[in-house]
């Protein structure tokens, strides 16, 4: 993964790499970019600067996008920056796996004051913001969230039994030459916030906040073969009519004669108006629906694609809804996803109380 570096940029990067007063991350980035400009393999660069291959690829991609600006992180002097080494984080993880009383901390459970004391005493490191310690708790597998309420509708035995049937059916269809998709709808939102103050003379200032939400629905189809997702915009609300239009477009753009679409048990997927279209001679005759067990969205691979895309754009405020929804669609279409029925992230039950 070679990058282009001009002579002037090379001179600056060399100076940054040699300066002892620069921050470590700046020196590492400068060194990695210099190696990449000379054609050194990414895995070798990762080993030399003691970072992962994924991190090195992100640095080089950032260099291609913003050149010198990507090297300066903007965190110089940040008192909340990561200060623990990997070995120290592993040691902290072992400590937090035990009750606080066993480590000499007078607390009933691990919280910010307790972990602050441990980090200060054990590693002589101190952060300014509580959020930095909350992040350390999360990295060590702990959470401040309450456990999920008990879902009386979810039957794990029935889900396991039905998923075994679905996997067997899907594998048989793939062996027979069918094109198989796992499909579902998503509805990302764009929220705009306007703040105004009204300071009448002689009265207290009255702040007002106006929030406007705009949403855009998509239907996405993830094939286990190419692992690329095509999001189909749904112009109105998610209903049977819009589902039919999206499936008809999927059928039109698929060359295979036989198509299986794995869907959840949403009401719009079971309507008679849709079910009748799968019969011979009807609009969706090439599509055969395969239904997942009820109350088991975590078993649908494309659900995890939606979650990944939403998390990617969640913390970046964009000016217009078009930019937000465009970023959502671009993230999905610009990469491949390894999710299938056998390789899904574990279900997040959020039962890991601190």
274 phi and psi angles, rounded to 5 deg: -90, -45
CA distance 66 to 59: 10
223 and 191 in contact (C-beta within 8 Å)?
no
42-95 pLDDT, tens digit each: 999 989 888 899 999 998 988 888 888 788 765 555 555 667 888 888 898 888
pLDDT one digit per residue (tens) for the chain, 354 residues: 788 888 888 888 888 888 765 567 888 888 999 999 988 999 999 898 888 999 999 989 888 888 887 887 655 555 556 678 888 888 988 888 888 888 778 877 888 888 888 888 888 888 877 878 888 888 888 876 655 555 677 888 999 999 999 999 999 999 999 999 999 999 898 887 766 666 667 777 666 667 788 889 999 999 877 789 988 888 777 788 888 998 999 999 998 899 999 999 888 888 888 888 998 899 999 999 999 999 888 999 999 999 999 988 887 778 888 999 999 999 999 889 988 888 888 765 443 333
Structure tokens at 179: 């094109």
The distance from CA 153 to its chain's CA centroid, rounded to whole angstroms, is 27
The predicted structure's pLDDT at residue 170: 93
Q: 191: which strand partners?
A: 213
C-alpha to C-alpha distance for 189 and 321, rounded to whole angstroms: 8
Residue 4: per-residue pLDDT: 87
Helix axes 112-123, 130-139, angle to 10 degrees: 80
Here the tokens at position 176 are: 């027979």
Contact 271, 263 (CB under 8 A): no
Assessment of whether the complete model's pTM goes beyond 0.75: no
């Amino acid at each position: 993964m070679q990058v282009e570096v001009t002579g002037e940029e090379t001179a600056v990067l060399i100076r940054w790499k040699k300066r002892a007063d620069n921050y470590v991350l700046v020196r590492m980035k400068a060194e990695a970019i210099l190696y990449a400009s000379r054609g050194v393999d990414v895995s070798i660069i990762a080993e030399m600067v003691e970072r992962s291959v994924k991190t090195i690829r992100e640095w080089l991609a950032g260099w291609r996008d913003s050149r010198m600006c990507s090297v300066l992180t903007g965190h110089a002097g940040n008192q909340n920056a990561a200060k623990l080494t990997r070995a120290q984080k592993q040691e902290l993880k072992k400590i937090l796996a035990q009750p606080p009383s066993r480590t000499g901390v007078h607390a009933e459970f691990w919280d910010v004051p307790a972990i602050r004391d441990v980090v200060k005493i054990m590693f002589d490191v101190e952060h300014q913001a509580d959020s930095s310690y909350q992040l350390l708790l999360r990295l060590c597998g702990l959470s401040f969230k309450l456990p999920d309420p008990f879902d009386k509708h979810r039957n794990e035995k029935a889900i396991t039994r039905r998923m075994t049937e679905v996997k067997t059916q899907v594998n048989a269809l793939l062996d027979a030459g069918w094109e198989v998709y796992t499909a579902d709808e998503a509805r990302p939102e764009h929220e705009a916030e306007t703040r105004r103050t009204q300071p009448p003379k002689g009265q207290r200032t009255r702040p007002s906040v106006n929030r406007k939400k705009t949403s855009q629905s998509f239907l996405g189809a993830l094939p286990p073969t190419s692992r690329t997702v095509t999001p189909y915009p749904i112009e109105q609300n998610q209903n049977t009519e819009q589902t039919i239009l999206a499936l008809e477009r999927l059928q039109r753009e698929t060359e295979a004669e036989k198509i299986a679409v794995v869907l959840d048990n949403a009401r719009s997927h079971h309507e008679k108006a849709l079910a009748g279209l799968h019969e011979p001679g009807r609009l969706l005759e090439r599509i055969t629906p395969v239904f997942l067990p009820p109350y088991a969205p975590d078993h649908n691979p494309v659900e995890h694609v939606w979650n990944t895309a939403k998390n990617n754009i969640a913390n970046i405020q964009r000016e217009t809804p078009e930019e937000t929804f465009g970023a959502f669609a671009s993230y999905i279409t610009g990469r491949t996803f390894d999710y299938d029925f056998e390789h899904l992230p574990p279900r997040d039950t959020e039962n890991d109380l601190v």
